[in-house]
Chains A and B, each alone.
Chain A
Amino acid sequence: MRLILFIAIVILTGTAGDLAVSHAMKQIGHVSPITPSAIFRFLALAFQMVWLWIGIALMATGFFSLLALLSWADVSLVVPATALSYVAGALGAKFLLKEHVTPARWAGVLLVCLGVALISMS
């Protein structure tokens, strides 16, 4: 039970971090064309975004929870289980970022999730 709770925390904080970063970048908008000066301006703007920092903090929380989890839980269970973050990511994109997740994308997400789970089993 404690294991499931910890795995859920790892997946949810990590994915929430990615979603927050994505939200921040969408507010900046399409960088085009990509020139060195455009990248510089983009980064200067990006690091002023509150959502970027929230995202980085969440990602860091997810990363350290994973490390903590790996110190007592079985790697061969935990690492494949984190493949569920692909499903969590697609759900978050649909319901939080209001992205249009097409059936082709759902199918792709499920295949990737299964594949990552299989590849990380040792």
Chain B
Amino acid sequence: MALTPLENLLWWAGIGLKVLLCALVFYRRLYRRLPFFSLYAVLLVVEVTLVWFVYREWGYTSLPAWYTYWFASVVVLLARALVVAELCWTSLGTHPAIWPLVRKILILIAVVALGYAAVTAFRTSSSPLATFALSSEQALEISFAFVLVALAGFGARYMAVLKPVERNIVIGLGAYSCFQVINNTFMQQWMNRYFHWWVSVRVVAFDIAMLVWIVPLRKALPETEPERTLISEGTARRLLRELLVQMREITEELKRIARSKWK
């Protein structure tokens, strides 16, 4: 079965946007700042070209198309997971108190999501590859949404504001992940018969995400100078400890006053 004209149009629009994104990433030298996002942009072009070629050669419902689609989906999904981790690192990597904890949480999420997907794929009697891709996608999409919201929330609480490019990547990834969770839920419950539509809607959602990523790359990126260290780690540790001791003493004193009032 061949692709419908609408599906063809969507694929072409998707290819165009992916090529444009990839070109802009290299033209603006974003790979220096966000290497995993740049790798992801390259993989998107490779994926769409390969999948489109296979569809064209062997047809939409052929076995090679099936395997190529799901294998490419898994690779791109894992690359997206690396992009989310990279965003966390660029925003939180400079905070020595937070980053080691965040890194452990991210590794735990990845292990749980992929472990869940592997177990689900192992237990299924139908296609393990498709089951693994869908299960890992479901688990990871919701994790991405959580992590990105937590990242934005952290920035809002501690004034660690995201730069425009990173912010747009967060918006694009966050919107796409949220959309995918909704899309997968509907797919599971009601839309098994409408697989074509499911894929098309997913393509449109991703095209919108790419447009969001392309917007800040239209202009040259400002040179980012490495942040100057205004206080040494040792001094910060010593002074903050002093402050903590003061706070504890004041708290104890207040408690003592409160107790003496009640006597």
Asked if A pairs with B, the answer is no
